[in-house]
């Protein structure tokens, strides 16, 4: 497990408890150096935050994970199903355009950045293969978790041995959507109607955590959990794009979720 750095809060998923050889953590907005609307552990280079603050925040996360900031890797996320197979670190500014990454190389900390979208971490410790996925609703519907699992299988993982955890994201209570949104998911599968609750007028509320758990189960993942944390409902603990929009706060920071195969000593 990651070591705490100063007052760096970290959440863990029970599904990974007792697994030898991996470290993981879901980080919120506490314990960093950023100021104002980015306060304080903003790790998103795509935000308008001070780059020096972002670099220090990422260094703190890397240290907590037991690696260096050069080995804490993030994609340039584009709400796609693109998956990167990682064998070595890349430099800041050279991030691949993708929304998932997988590896079997120890010491590489794979991450997903989010601010309401769903971060999903994966591990098959029998095969020594891990993955990290950014699943916004578009990517989730298009099958980014399916693509991540397939990439893991291509590295030697077996679906029945993969464990997965969905981190802090927008909960159903605050995920208000319109009829066109509902229609896209119903078009995929009529059974997806179960993930929507009727709201006022033509509005509905979407349970993306339940939807992703269903996707994972249908892909052959037998052991998956979703953390209960809601990014919108806990704005002091997590960055939330939707919360900032609703409160006229321009721009937003990013939460980071990380998984790593530990180096063999």
Per residue in 63-96, pLDDT (tens digit) is: 999 999 999 999 999 999 999 999 999 988 899 9
Token representation of residue 247 = 């409160």
Q: What does the pLDDT average to over 16-26?
A: 94
Per DSSP, the three-state class of 158 is coil
Token representation of residue 74 = 């993030």
Give 75's Cβ-side CA count (13 Å radius). 29
Per DSSP, the three-state class of 148 is helix
Residue 1: pLDDT band by 50, 70, 90 thresholds? low
Of residues 48 and 264, more confidently modeled: 48
What interhelical angle do 144-154 and 208-218 show, nearest 10? 30
* pLDDT at position 2 over 80: no
Q: What angle do CA 52, 44, 243 make, to 5 degrees?
A: 120
**Rounded-to-integer distance, Cα 174 and Cα 184, Å:** 19
pLDDT at 92: 85
Closest CA to 137 of 181, 96, 180, 168: 181
pLDDT at 20: 87
pLDDT at 265: 45
pLDDT at 7: 72
Q: Do β-strands 83-85 and 100-103 pair in parallel, antiparallel, or remain unpaired? A: parallel
DSSP 31: S
* pLDDT at position 22 over 90: yes
Q: What does the pLDDT average to over 88-105?
A: 96
* pLDDT at position 3 over 60: no
pLDDT, tens only, 229-263: 999 999 999 999 999 999 999 999 999 999 999 98
**Rounded-to-integer distance, Cα 29 and Cα 61, Å:** 11
pLDDT at 87: 97
Report whether 65 contacts 5 (CB < 8 A).
Answer: no
Q: Does domain 10-169+233-261 have CATH number 3.60.140.10?
A: yes
Report whether 232 contacts 174 (CB < 8 A).
Answer: yes
Token representation of residue 77 = 């996320």
Q: What is the rounded average pLDDT for all residues in the chain?
A: 96
Show me where the domains of the chain are located.
Answer: 10-169+233-261
pLDDT at 6: 52
* pLDDT at position 101 over 50: yes
Pick left, alpha or beta for residue 40 (phi over 0 → left; psi -120 to 50 → alpha; otherwise beta). alpha
Q: What does the pLDDT average to over 189-204?
A: 98
Q: What does the pLDDT average to over 216-228?
A: 98
**Rounded-to-integer distance, Cα 6 and Cα 252, Å:** 24
Dihedrals phi, psi of 105, to nearest 5 degrees? -100, 120
Report whether 135 contacts 144 (CB < 8 A).
Answer: yes
């Amino acid at each position: 497990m990651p070591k705490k750095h100063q007052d760096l809060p970290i959440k863990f998923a029970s599904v990974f408890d007792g697994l030898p050889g991996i470290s993981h953590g879901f980080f919120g907005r506490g314990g960093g150096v950023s100021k104002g609307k980015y306060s304080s552990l903003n790790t998103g280079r795509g935000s308008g935050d001070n780059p020096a603050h972002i670099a220090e925040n990422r260094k703190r996360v890397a240290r907590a994970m037991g690696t260096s900031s050069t080995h804490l890797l993030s994609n340039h996320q584009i709400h796609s199903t693109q998956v990167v197979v990682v064998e070595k670190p890349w430099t800041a500014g050279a991030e691949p355009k993708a929304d998932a990454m997988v590896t079997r190389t120890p010491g590489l900390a794979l991450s997903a950045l989010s601010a309401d979208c769903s971060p999903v971490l994966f591990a098959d410790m029998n095969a020594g293969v891990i993955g990290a996925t950014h699943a916004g609703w578009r990517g989730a519907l298009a099958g980014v978790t399916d693509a991540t699992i397939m990439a893991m299988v291509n590295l030697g993982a077996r679906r029945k041995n993969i464990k997965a955890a969905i981190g802090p994201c927008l909960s159903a209570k605050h995920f208000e959507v319109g009829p066109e949104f509902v229609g896209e998911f119903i078009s995929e599968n009529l059974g997806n109607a179960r993930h929507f609750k009727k709201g006022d007028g033509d509005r509905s509320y979407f349970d993306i955590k339940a939807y992703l758990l269903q996707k994972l189960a249908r892909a052959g993942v037998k052991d998956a959990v979703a953390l209960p944390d809601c990014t919108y409902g806990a704005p002091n603990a997590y960055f939330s794009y939707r919360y900032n929009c609703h409160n006229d706060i321009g721009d937003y920071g990013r939460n980071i979720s990380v998984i790593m195969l530990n180096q063999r000593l």
